[in-house]
Amino acid sequence: MRVLALVGSLRKSSYNKLALKAAVELKPADMEIESADIGALPLYNEDLHAESYPPAAQAFREQVRAADAILFVTPEYNYSVSGVLKNAIDWASRPPDRPLESKPAAVMGASGSRLGTARAQYHLRQIGVFLNLHFINRPEVMISFADKVFDASGRLTDEMARKLIAQLLVNLRDWTLKLQAK
């Protein structure tokens, strides 16, 4: 199973990139997780795809199309998703074929705050309603106080968070297989 991860942070030592690293370590054996470089996308502008998509956007759209499922790994910026993540969603949600349409999806995130990325995740789910994304609901993976749960090598040390990530990925796999069987 091919899962495309969209990490909504461009920061080199992002907690969300570290959370994705943990997900790759904890994924089921029958799952591949590839990360998309959404920072390379131009700012969304409908004029840029009047006749064809810019090369970076077209390559990204093809990555989304080829994936069996999407894993969003989102920070929380101003109570919402980051601009770079919203930009990627905008590029992958446009006609003619809308690559995000009906994709199975999961969301997780890490933040230094007490709430983790709760508001961003709920906002992302709201965006997903319009896109007809099929999010799994549980477990919710909202890694709080991220500055205290990754060690010096970037390994996630919080055992509950590791357990939740592993379960999230099993549930994403099972949900994707269920949707593909329909």
Q: Is the pLDDT of residue 47 over 90?
A: no
| Full-model pTM | 0.96
Which phi and psi (to 5°) does residue 166 adopt? -60, -45
Q: How far is CA 153 from the centre of its chain?
A: 23
Residues 114, 138: Cα–Cα separation, whole Å: 19
Q: Give the pLDDT of residue 182.
A: 80
Provide the number of structural domains found in the chain: 1
Residue identified by tokens 């905008």 is 90
**Domain assignment of residue 89, given as a range:** 2-181
Task: Give the CATH number for residue 37.
Answer: 3.40.50.360
The torsion angle over the Cα atoms of residues 144, 109, 8 and 76, rounded to 10 degrees, is -50
Beta strands 141-143 and 104-110, pairing class: parallel
- Segment 97-156, tens digit of pLDDT: 899 999 999 999 999 889 889 999 999 999 999 999 999 999 999 999 999 999 999 999
The DSSP code sequence of the chain is: -EEEEEE----TT-HHHHHHHHHHHHS-TT-EEEE--GGGSPPP-GGGGSSS--HHHHHHHHHHHH-SEEEEE---BTTB--HHHHHHHHHHT-TTT-TTTT-EEEEEEE-SSTTTTHHHHHHHHHHHHHHT-EE---S-EEE-SGGGTB-TTS-B--HHHHHHHHHHHHHHHHHHHHHHH-
Closest by CA position to 133, among listed 175, 75, 174, 76: 175
Confidence of residue 170 (pLDDT cuts 50, 70, 90): very high
- Segment 66-108, tens digit of pLDDT: 999 999 999 999 999 999 999 999 999 998 889 999 999 999 9
Q: Give the pLDDT of residue 49.
A: 83
Q: Is the pLDDT of residue 50 over 80?
A: no
- Quote the Cα angle for 119-169-155, to 5°: 80
Q: Give the pLDDT of residue 113.
A: 87
